[in-house]
Amino acid sequence: MSYLLKGIVYLGDFHFTSQIITSDNKVWFHDGIETRDKCQYNGKLDIYNGSDLLTCNNKHTCLIVYALLD
């Protein structure tokens, strides 16, 4: 079985943010306070390494979402 990374939720300062990975490997940042109902494009997934994804804007990973690859 193989899995695809689809999203990461971060926590810091009693506030959650997230990064969403689309099917074309684009990474989008969302923060309900900062970006409201919009997502901010953060580049392609292949520019990140594993440790780059562990933190985002001084917040730490608390949930990782995968999808099963058929």
The pLDDT assigned to 54 comes to: 97
What letter represents residue 29's amino acid? F
Residuewise pLDDT in 10s, the chain (70 residues)? 999 999 999 999 999 999 999 999 999 999 999 999 999 999 999 999 989 999 999 999 999 999 999 7
Alpha-carbon 27 to chain mean position: 7
| The model's pTM | 0.92
What are the sequence ranges of the domains in the chain?
A: 2-69
CA–CA separation, 58 vs 10, rounded Å?
A: 9
CB atoms within 10 A of CB 48: 16
The pLDDT assigned to 50 comes to: 86
